[in-house]
Structure formats: C-alpha cells, structure tokens
Structure 1
Amino acid sequence: MANEITVPLLPCRSIDEIVEFYTMLGFDRTYYQLRPYPCVGLQREDLQLQFFGIPDFRPEDSYGSCVVLVSDTGALFEAFAAGMRKAHGKLLVSGIPRMTRPRKRKNVGNVSGFSIVDPGGNWIRIFHNTAAADDNTDEPASQLAKATRNAVVLGDSKGDTRQAARILDSALTRHRGSAPVTDLVEALAYRAELALRAEDTTAARDALARARALTLSEAEREQLGETLASLDDLEAVLLDRP
C-alpha cells in the first residue's frame, strides 16, 4: 500500500480557541461538531490536524504531541510568524500558546526544527524532511556552540527551560572570551528567548543588550541574518513587558 494519510487527534480545552489559533496560522476549518462531543478538523495545504474538547482540561498538563515533516522549516516558520505578527503585533514566544524558532536539533541528527505549542498545550514538532540526517553532520566547532546545541535539546525538545538556561549561562561564562562572535550572538539570542519563556524580563533584556553590543562584520551580519531578525522579534515582545 502507499499514499496513506495519518491525521493526529489531539486534546484541547476549547475547540473554538483551537480554531482561532490555527486560523491565524493559515489553516482552514474542515470539520466542526459540538455533539456528541466537541471535535474540529483543520487543514493547511497537506497538513491536517484534528482536536477533541475535554471539559476542565488543563493545557499545561497536556502530553499531546505529533511530528510534522516538511520540505522547508524556515518558510513555514515565517508563514506562521507572519500570522502571529498580523494578529498580535509580535511573535508568541512564552506561555501557551507559543512558537519556537527553527534550530538544528542535536537529538534528531542536526535536522532543523521548530515547535508550536497550541492553546491545548499540544506540541506540534515540525522538522525538515530529509533522509540525510546524521548525528555526526555539521558538528559545531566551538564549546559555546556545542553548549547551545545541548541547551536547544533541553529547551526546545524537552521543554526544560530552566535547565537549558543553566547550561547556556555556564557556557557563556566559561567561553565568552574564546568563542567566535557569531556563536556568541546565537547563544545570547537563545538565552533571551529562554528568559522570556521563564517570564524573566531582566535576563532577557540583559542577553539582548549583550548581543547588540557585539561588533559584527558585514559577512557575519549576513551569516546571522535569521538570528538578528530574532532579536528584533524578542525586543518587540519586551515592549509591553514591565
């Protein structure tokens, strides 16, 4: 057999919250019912998701998750980000719902991936679809870059924001004098994002200020284009934070 289709069925507190969120990301509603139980179907191109409502469901306690393989994680992230900016004037980077940025995941063969945590607390894990994933590919050269990859596994795959921040803080202290400036910017940008997830605006502002203070060549700015754009997004989030 071939051409099978699997559609995840995920829990939520309110199917109407789910519809509003995924419509923002460019999904269309394909199915909707309230009885005998709340259920909704959503689709964006070939990506299909279904959700069922549970009374008194707590999104923060959800174990709902699925993996989505796509040809271009960056393009899909930017499409989702555009929807968030249009609806909220910024990216949603903390709390529920939120979205992480595409980063290479050491625990999945250094394949680029990002996650959506939707209003139901479900983790929609989006990865680049490639048969070339290899644990030994694209190994970072500096100790700081290696620590950042380790932090990403904890922060973006496991959701352990606190431990990811500890890893980065330790690595930044030990290696800030020897790491390439590009690795410093990457690490500080991720540290700022982790701080916002933890509602630590002081640490977020500190990491952003340190990243902005670094001197970059034109070539380095070009290399860090996506990361520098992430600094803009994080600063926009801080505009309405005390």
Structure 2
Amino acid sequence: MAESAVPILPSRNLDETFEFYSRLGFELQGAPIEKYRYLIIGRGSIELHFWDAPDVDPLTTDASCYIRVDDADALHREWKGVGIQSDPATGSRLMPPVDTDYGIREFALVDQSGNLLRVGSPLGRLSAVGDQASAPGSS
C-alpha cells in the first residue's frame, strides 16, 4: 500500500459539508454521517475527513490542506461549472488559478466551514485545452 496523508478538517454541519463536496464530485467513503458524526469522502485518489465542529467560525478558522492534481486548470473549470457561490457570511468561495513563483499552477477553494483547500499542479504540464503553461525561466 502506498503511503499517504489525509487531512481531518472541521465541519460546522456535516450534512451541509457532504452536500457541498458532493457537487464537486466527491462520494461518501465511510459510514453514514449519523453513525459516528464523522464524514469521509473521496474523489479519485483524494480523500478528506471531517469531524463535527458546530462551533467552528468559518471566518476565523485556519484549517487547510493542499491537494495535488495533474491539471489544476481543468479541475477549476469543472468546479466553476458547478456554480460555487461566494458567501460573505462564511467566506466560502472559489478563487481563480494563478502561476506561483514556486513553480505551481494553483487555485483555492474555501468551503462553508472556512476550510481552505489549495489545489495545484506543476507548471509546464499540458492543460485540458491543449495549451502548454510555461515554466519559470522558459520562453
């Protein structure tokens, strides 16, 4: 079995969290929420866990994780197509991809519990539309 790490993030409402991530293509992988008041979801090789934290303040929590993908632009397009709405009350939003100075193309998603998911892929990979992103220092 390959080694991996799985983030355990707070959720102010596990049912709401499951609904949010279901729209993004995640599926239930653990026991039903009501059994343990805990949520395990997955999408491909991505696995996220959430614990029941009804008092978490989505505007002040610092919970986050990083997800590596093959094509950050393609995943951002997919998630944008779902229609994630910005919500000032929770800080929930989907931010556009940017090229970083550390060689990663990444975007960020903040869910309704304030969890920050940074999603990235190395610069220079082919995007789903066939454009080649240029790596730092290349022409």
Give the TM-score band, short-chain normalised. 0.7 to 0.9
Q: Name segments (4+ residues, structure 1) moved above 6 Å.
A: none
Secondary structure of 1:80's aligned partner? helix
In 1, the alpha carbon distance for the partners of 2:124 and 2:75 equals 19
When you count strand as a share of all residues, which structure comes out higher? 2
Equivalent in 57, 70, 93 of residue 98 of structure 1:
93
Equivalent in 105, 120, 129 of residue 127 of structure 1:
120
Residue of structure 1 in register with 2:19 after alignment: 20
Say if 2:110 and 2:116, in contact at 8 Å, map to a contact too.
Answer: yes
Say if 2:94 and 2:108, in contact at 8 Å, map to a contact too.
Answer: yes
* TM superposition score normalised by structure 2: 0.79
Structure 2, gaps ≥5 residues long: 126-134
In 2, the alpha carbon distance for the partners of 1:33 and 1:138 equals 48
Q: Which of 1 and 2 has greater Rg?
A: 1
Say if 1:26 and 1:83, in contact at 8 Å, map to a contact too.
Answer: no
In 2, the alpha carbon distance for the partners of 1:101 and 1:94 equals 16
Residue 34 to residue 123, structure 1, CA distance change in 2 (3 Å)? same
- 1:1-242 matches, within 5 Å, as 3-31=2-30, 32-34=32-34, 38-84=37-83, 91-93=84-86, 95=88, 96-106=91-101, 109-129=102-122, 137-138=136-137
Q: Percent identity?
A: 27
* TM superposition score normalised by structure 1: 0.47
Q: How many residues align?
A: 126
Root-mean-square deviation (CA, aligned residues, Å) is 2.4
When you count helix as a share of all residues, which structure comes out higher? 1
Higher relative contact order (CA 8 A, sep 6+): 2
Residue of structure 1 in register with 2:129 after alignment: none
Say if 1:9 and 1:52, in contact at 8 Å, map to a contact too.
Answer: yes
